[in-house]
Amino acid sequence: MSFPHVSEQSPRAAKVLIAEDSIVIGNLLRFNLERAGLDATLAANGQEAIHLLQQEHFDILLTDYEMPILNGEQICDMLRNELHNHDMHIVMCSAKTLELDTDLMRQKYGIERLLQKPFSMTELVSVVRSLVSGRTDLLEIVV
């Protein structure tokens, strides 16, 4: 019996780090992203997110804006300016997106999308799919 050769270039699932302090919302996000074929990891606060970002490579950061210890903006600042990671896609989620200076956040941190809470899981998967489309090193995302 022979097995097909699997090269190091085989497509992999996109890795998403979810920074969300609500365990219920975080688990819902993780469940739906995993169901779409993504590799999702949950951080319960900003400090835990930074620790994970120092340890692992992620393709996308999905972060809540308001969290204890470090908020979403502080995570983005540390990601870009201390960890010098300018390649990761960032999606910020908040119930208060209308109060945020979205232009400044896009310019300063490279945040690509701001999602107004509540949002549908279909919208979330669509946003993530758009961020990684065309990447031949990643598996296709299903809806």
pLDDT digits (tens, 9 = 90+) for 110-135: 899 989 889 999 999 999 988 888 77
Question: In this predicted model, what pLDDT tens digit does every residue of 32-45 receive, in sequence order?
Answer: 999 999 999 999 99
CATH 3.10.20.30 fits 15-130, yes or no: no
Give CA separation, 125 vs 21, 30, 83, 102, 143, in Å: 20, 11, 27, 21, 7
pTM, to two decimals: 0.87
Q: Hey, where are the domains in the chain? A: 15-130
